[in-house]
Structure 1
Amino acid sequence: MNRATATGSIALTLASALTLTACGGSGGAGVAADAKQTLTVWAMGTEGEKLGDVAEEYEKTHSNLTVKVTPIGWDVAHQKLVAAAAAGKLPDVVQMGGSYLGEFADMGVLEPVDSKTIHETDYFPAAWQQGSYDGKTYGAPWYVDTRVLFYRTDLAKKAGIEKAPATMADLQSAAEAYQKKAGSKWGLSIQPGGLDTVQSFYQFLYSAGGAIIDDDGKAAVNSAAAVKALENYGSYFDKGLSEKSVRPGYDVTKDFNTGAVPMFFGGPWLTNLIDENYPDLKDKWAVAPVPADAASVSMAGGSSLAISADSDHKAAAKELVAYLTGEKGQTDWFERTNDLPANTAAWTSGDLADDPTMQVWRQQMDTARATPSQPKLTEITSKVDTAIESVTQGKSSAKEALDKAQSEIEGLVQ
């Protein structure tokens, strides 16, 4: 998922309307699952484009259903969802990114997950957490995302690097060696600032044992572990190992291909992108788990599928969601999209079980961490984006930047 920017002002403006329209359900029994009906589904980005094909296949075994999928761009998704929620016109089923779910669950417009058909033990813990808010689960995990280390193996040999960096200290040593011995312009590509810089920082933060919001739901971004992580992150820019200014729309795979960037953290979709666009790189690169600090921990991203609290088609919607998040549906979805299954059973056969590269992501998901759902999560993480950029640009120390972020975030956490 490419996390869209939440438009906080819109949500605030419509808050009073939502208290009137989002009553937590239609109150009626609704339409039976086997009755003739149309299910409306909103999905974002590439997933929205691909889901229509799955819907057509699903209709073949559910002749009473018409499944109408509307693809929506991530750039406008939040605004459309808020407006639809305020008008009481959310679709029956909607894709929810991790940064959205807490906001819409707090509005009261999502139906809690049916524990009789969707079971927590079937999914990665971090994936389940992303769909949960205030003690209840509102989103069934659909697909997951995490980050691992991509590195050039051929340039590693020139740099005298014999194996993938296993620790954060190894990572910086490798970055220096790539520059000095293999002729790379940079040692490691990490984001210096701007929207969603936090996604680049998570690998350092979580591996150091830090968090933005702790397990008790309190702001914790200026903890000793978090300060240590940001000091480490900032040191790459201080030492000239990472670029301080990255142009909008930057594609790291181009510099990975030329060798200007020998290492970066990336998601699973990049494997096919590199293979297709740069066939000459075959057997010259590999992936490895996030180098460990206190542990090897990466971010957990992805999306859930939620049902509108006011839907009249909840019975059929629950069956569709159960299929899409079940083992069979998840296996099919991976074959169509390369999105990583949230359901762990889907990893036990086929390419997911046999491909060593895919197993790196499987290993990383076992320890991946999700930020607890919050109504103002996007606003919260934007404060961390600002703190990171302040450090990478040499404007403040890690402690000063995170103390400031902490004071701003404390008033946003619910």
Structure 2
Amino acid sequence: MTNRWAVKITAVGLGVCLSLAVSACAQDSSSDARTILVFKHGKLAARPGALAAVLREFERRHPGVIVRDEVLPSTSDQQHQFYAVNLESRNPGIDLLAADLIWVQEFARAGWIRDLEDVITSAERREFFPAAVEAATFAGRLYAAPWYVDAGVLFYRRDLLERYGFPPPRTWPELARTARAILDRERDPVLKGFVWQGKQYEGLVCTALELIRSYGGDLPAGDDTAIVEALVFMRSLITEGISPQSVATADEETSRHQFGAGHAIFMRNWPYAWTIFQREGSPVRGKIGLAPLPSTPGQASSPVLGGWTLAIPTRTAHAKEAGTLLKYLTSPEVQETIAKEIGYNPTRPALYRNNLPAHHRLWFEALYPMLEAAKPRPVTPYYLMLSQAWQPELSAALVGTKSATAALASLRRQTAYILSLEADWSVSASTTLGDWREL
């Protein structure tokens, strides 16, 4: 077998990494006996200053500690690339970092982040959603603290369903029938039945996993018949006109804009879209509902778990202070503040029953069962490699260039190769798939 894993660091990405690293390494030479903690994270969809206020309160409670939060590039891929380059260096200039749930296994295996055994006790771990803790645990040890969580959910046009007497669908066949009935009665050429994320990227893997699991299958292992049935159904949504052909190139924001403009009956997306739909001037404000993703008869709804964690780099010079900041940011007090002020979903189930304002409480009461049912993507250090192998096969099945059976066979071969890699093989986080067509 001649497959190779080629490092792909683009000039733009490397430039971003180096510029941010230089910024971080300039550890405020004017500081006088103060501890400067550098906190790296992606941009939060919140009102300006919301996180800053939380960090200033931490500084007030911990005199002599200054937190400098530095925002990474907007895309998840760029953030991952930045960490891959900088965490390998002797002086990464990072004391606390926000990591996607799916990166924790990889970062822990590479030795880039510390375990949190002396930061978060076993009893404290039981206060978080179990699935989030599972995704952040490597080799039996916790390496990241759940910061906020997400799960795939179904948005629907409540006004249209009520107009024609339909309840929110519980099964995929019911969703297809309801969408077809409303489309036929509305006769609006702009209106679509069901929009979702089918572009060849991580979002397609999430959507496919939710369908596959709701059919009784799973990846990387699972019943082949169930997997094929799920892929065939995804394709049929397009061929039967329930979903537009454009879903094959759609990501979260593409779907959100289409549904938010009033041009779709159903949408699979993450909960973040709800707040946007309720803003003043939104065409769907007051017209939408939220429900668990459908399943097949006899199976349970199977939303994919999403969200972000906080981790401490192995080479930080301020591990103790970083641990204190990590515990503060994931504390009940701060998670409640983040829920109210930023709108991110807490990782502590108890907060969904606390004294939140009425509009927050009703939202979280509806969302809680979906978060509780959410399942992580495959928990393995090789997940990103698996995802990159699966994406073109799932896309081929979706657009019809391969049959579901052929796509699954190719996916199986590539998965077997990845999982057969020797445990001590050094795999860089910036490594991507080579030429898989040879398999």
1:254–1:86 Cα change, 3 Å: closer
1:233–1:346 Cα change, 3 Å: same
The equivalent position to 1:183 in structure 2, one of 172, 184, 187, is: 187
1:157–1:182 Cα change, 3 Å: farther
Distance in 1 of aligned mates of 2:225 and 2:216:
9
Task: Report how far residue 140 of structure 1 moved.
Answer: 0.6
Task: Report how far residue 178 of structure 1 moved.
Answer: 2.4
1:209–1:8 Cα change, 3 Å: farther
Secondary structure at 2:131 match in 1: helix
Contact 2:262 2:283 in 1 (8 A): no
Q: After alignment, is 345-354 or 93-102 more displaced?
A: 345-354
Residues 107-256 of structure 1: pairs in structure 2 closer than 5 A: 107-114=110-117, 117-118=120-121, 119-158=124-163, 160-183=164-187, 185-196=191-202, 197-212=204-219, 219-220=220-221, 223-246=224-247, 251-256=254-259
Distance in 2 of aligned mates of 1:102 and 1:82:
13
Match of 2:376 in 1: 370
Residues 338-377 of structure 1: pairs in structure 2 closer than 5 A: 338-351=343-356, 355-377=361-383
Task: Report how far residue 43 of structure 1 moved.
Answer: 0.8
Secondary structure at 1:39 match in 2: strand
Task: Report how far residue 36 of structure 1 moved.
Answer: 4.2
Do residues 298 (structure 1) and 303 (structure 2) align?
Answer: yes
Amino acid at match of 2:141: K
1:352–1:87 Cα change, 3 Å: farther
1:254–1:117 Cα change, 3 Å: closer
Do residues 38 (structure 1) and 36 (structure 2) align?
Answer: yes
Distance in 1 of aligned mates of 2:282 and 2:86:
44
Match of 1:77 in 2: 79
1:280–1:239 Cα change, 3 Å: closer
1:201–1:352 Cα change, 3 Å: farther
Q: After alignment, is 401-410 or 270-279 more displaced?
A: 270-279
The alignment of Structure 1 onto Structure 2 pairs a total of residues equal to 378
The equivalent position to 2:392 in structure 1, one of 373, 381, 386, is: 386
Distance in 1 of aligned mates of 2:81 and 2:300:
38
Distance in 2 of aligned mates of 1:83 and 1:387:
29
Describe the superposition over 1:47-102 as per-residue Cα deviations: whole angstroms up to 9, x where unpaired.
79753332112101111211111110243212211111121233111111122212
Describe the superposition over 1:101-120 as per-residue Cα deviations: whole angstroms up to 9, x where unpaired.
12211111211113663422
Distance in 1 of aligned mates of 2:374 and 2:110:
28
TM-score (norm 2): 0.79
Contact 2:157 2:287 in 1 (8 A): yes
1:341–1:77 Cα change, 3 Å: same
Match of 2:16 in 1: none
Describe the superposition over 1:293-330 as per-residue Cα deviations: whole angstroms up to 9, x where unpaired.
21011010001111112222111111111111121111
Secondary structure at 1:304 match in 2: strand
Amino acid at match of 1:397: S
The equivalent position to 2:288 in structure 1, one of 282, 285, 288, is: 285
Match of 2:30 in 1: none
Match of 1:51 in 2: 51
Q: After alignment, is 110-119 or 303-312 more displaced?
A: 110-119
Match of 1:335 in 2: 340
RMSD, matched Cα: 2.5
Amino acid at match of 2:405: K
Task: Report how far residue 10 of structure 1 moved.
Answer: 4.9
Do residues 321 (structure 1) and 302 (structure 2) align?
Answer: no
Contact 1:41 1:69 in 2 (8 A): yes
Amino acid at match of 1:349: N
Contact 1:352 1:359 in 2 (8 A): no
Match of 1:269 in 2: 272
Amino acid at match of 2:275: N
Amino acid at match of 1:62: H
Match of 1:311 in 2: 316
Amino acid at match of 1:305: L
Contact 2:261 2:284 in 1 (8 A): no
Contact 1:94 1:306 in 2 (8 A): yes
Contact 2:166 2:178 in 1 (8 A): no
1:402–1:360 Cα change, 3 Å: farther
Match of 1:65 in 2: 65
Contact 1:191 1:200 in 2 (8 A): yes
Distance in 2 of aligned mates of 1:10 and 1:371:
24
1:209–1:51 Cα change, 3 Å: farther
Contact 1:108 1:309 in 2 (8 A): yes
Amino acid at match of 2:285: K
Amino acid at match of 2:182: Y
